[in-house]
Structure 1
Amino acid sequence: MPRIFAPLLSAATYARWLHLTIGLVFAGVVLMVYPGTEGSGLGEVLLRAVPVDTVLLVLAALLPAMRRAEGVQARLLLMPEREQDIAAEPSRTWTDLRRTAAWLVGRVALGTGVGILSVLLPAAAVDLLLRPDPELFGLRLPAADGASWYPLLAPVLLFALGWLVVWAGRLQLAMAVSLLGPSPAERLAAAELRAERLLERNLLARELHDSIGHALTVTVIQAGAAREVGDPAFAAKALEVIEETGRQAMEDLERTLALLRDTGEGTGDGTTRTGTRTRTADDAGDPRERPGVDQLPALFDTARAAGSQVEARLDLPSGQLPGVLSREGYRIVQEGITNALKYAPGEPVSVRIALRDGWLEIRCANALAAAGAPVRSSPRRGGKGLRGIRERAVLLGGEASAGPESGAWVLAVRVPLRLGA
Structure 2
Amino acid sequence: MSKIAALKSAVSASAASVGSAPGRTARVRTAPVRAVPRLLAPLVAGTTYARLLHLLVGWIFAGIVLMIYPGTYHKGLGEILVASVSLDVVLLALTALIPAARRAEGVQARLLLVPDREEDIATEPSRTWADRRRTAGWLIGRVVLGSLVGFPVVFGIAGAFDLLTGPDALWYLPLVPPAAFCFGWFLVYAGRLQLAMAVRLLGPSPAERLAEAELRAERLLERNRLARELHDSIGHALTVTVLQAGAAREVGDPAFVAKALEVIEETGRQAMEDLERTLVLLRESPVGSNGPATEQPGIDQLPGLFDTARAAGGPVEARVEVPSGTLPGVLSRESYRIVQEAVTNALKYAPGEPLDIRIAVRDGRLELRCANRLPGSARSAAGPARPPAGGTGRGSTGKGGKGLRGIRERATLLGGEATAGPVRDGAAEGAGEWVLAVRLPLRLGS
TM-score normalised to structure 2 length:
0.68
Give the aligned residue type for 2:327: P
Q: Alignment partner for residue 56 of structure 2, among 9, 21, 39?
A: 21
Percent identity over paired residues: 66
Shift of 1:244: 2.0
Q: Alignment partner for residue 321 of structure 2, among 316, 320, 337?
A: 316
Cα deviation, 1:189-215, whole Å, max 9, x if unaligned, reads 555555555555544443343223322
Q: Are the aligned partners of 1:344 and 1:375 in contact in 2 as well (CA < 8 Å)?
A: no
Shift of 1:255: 5.8
Aligned to 1:168: 190
1-structure distance, mates of 2:442, 2:100? 51
Range moving further from structure 2, 314-323 or 235-244:
314-323
Q: Are the aligned partners of 1:369 and 1:375 in contact in 2 as well (CA < 8 Å)?
A: no
Give the aligned residue type for 1:341: L
Q: Alignment partner for residue 136 of structure 2, among 84, 90, 101?
A: 101
Q: Are the aligned partners of 2:328 and 2:442 in contact in 1 as well (CA < 8 Å)?
A: no
Aligned to 2:417: 399
Aligned to 2:385: none
DSSP-derived class of the 1:314 partner = strand
Give the aligned residue type for 1:217: T
1:362/1:275 CA distance change after superposition, 3 Å: closer
Q: Are the aligned partners of 1:340 and 1:366 in contact in 2 as well (CA < 8 Å)?
A: yes
DSSP-derived class of the 1:360 partner = strand
Cα deviation, 1:363-405, whole Å, max 9, x if unaligned, reads 33455667x9833799947454334322321122111244566
The 5-angstrom pairing of residues 175-190 of structure 1 reads 175-190=197-212
Shift of 1:74: 1.4
1:232/1:172 CA distance change after superposition, 3 Å: same
DSSP-derived class of the 1:362 partner = strand
Aligned residues: 386
Aligned to 2:238: 216
Decide which structure has the larger Cα Rg and report it: 2
Shift of 1:49: 4.1
2-structure distance, mates of 1:373, 1:352? 32
**Is it true that 1:307 corresponds to 2:313 in the alignment?**
yes
Q: Alignment partner for residue 335 of structure 1, among 341, 350, 361?
A: 341
2-structure distance, mates of 1:93, 1:418? 33
**Is it true that 1:411 corresponds to 2:444 in the alignment?**
no
Aligned to 1:239: 261
DSSP-derived class of the 1:26 partner = helix
1:385/1:2 CA distance change after superposition, 3 Å: farther
Range moving further from structure 2, 187-196 or 322-331:
187-196
Q: Alignment partner for residue 35 of structure 1, among 64, 71, 82?
A: 71
Shift of 1:256: 5.5
Gaps of 5+ in 1: 135-149, 266-273, 277-284
1-structure distance, mates of 2:410, 2:271? 21
2-structure distance, mates of 1:12, 1:258? 41
DSSP-derived class of the 1:109 partner = helix
2-structure distance, mates of 1:32, 1:419? 64
Shift of 1:106: 0.2
Q: Alignment partner for residue 249 of structure 2, among 187, 206, 227?
A: 227
Q: Alignment partner for residue 121 of structure 2, among 68, 86, 101?
A: 86
1-structure distance, mates of 2:151, 2:423? 81
Range moving further from structure 2, 82-91 or 410-419:
82-91
DSSP-derived class of the 2:229 partner = helix
1-structure distance, mates of 2:212, 2:411? 27
Cα deviation, 1:326-381, whole Å, max 9, x if unaligned, reads 432221010112123334444554434445554433333455667x9833799947
Give the aligned residue type for 2:58: G
Shift of 1:23: 1.8
2-structure distance, mates of 1:24, 1:93? 28
1-structure distance, mates of 2:343, 2:130? 57
1:264/1:297 CA distance change after superposition, 3 Å: closer
Shift of 1:118: 3.7
**Is it true that 1:111 corresponds to 2:161 in the alignment?**
no
Give the aligned residue type for 1:351: I
DSSP-derived class of the 1:411 partner = strand
Cα deviation, 1:22-55, whole Å, max 9, x if unaligned, reads 22222333444543469988x9976774334333
2-structure distance, mates of 1:21, 1:317? 71
**Is it true that 1:385 corresponds to 2:403 in the alignment?**
yes
Cα deviation, 1:64-120, whole Å, max 9, x if unaligned, reads 543343232112112234444434455555444433322111001111222334457
Aligned to 1:55: 90
1-structure distance, mates of 2:250, 2:38? 69
1:22/1:315 CA distance change after superposition, 3 Å: closer
1:317/1:100 CA distance change after superposition, 3 Å: closer
Gaps of 5+ in 2: 1-35, 377-387, 425-429
Shift of 1:296: 3.0
Aligned to 1:207: 229
